[in-house]
Amino acid sequence: MSLTELFPHLKELSQTDKLLLLHFLVSEILNKFGLVSLYSQDKLVSLGLHDSFEATAVLAKALAEVKAVTDG
């Protein structure tokens, strides 16, 4: 299934499900590059969403920086 086919389905998800999807995607990216999430280091992984918006902003900034380096 292509990303274009997924977009309509993703828009139907609740905000909570979108944040859980974001968590999953970030975990996949971290695993691909052999990185370990700070939450999984000596802690039980929690899916608490109380500060996910701040985490999303940090992730967006990091991804923009990586994109700038790789596209530059």
In the chain, where the domains are located: 3-71
Which DSSP category does 15 fall into? H
User: Which pLDDT belongs to residue 11?
Assistant: 92
Count of residues in the chain: 72
Residues of the chain where predicted confidence (pLDDT) is lower than 70 = 37-52, 72
DSSP H or E run through 71: helix 52-71
Contacts of 13 (CB under 8 A, 6+ apart): 21
User: Which pLDDT belongs to residue 44?
Assistant: 42
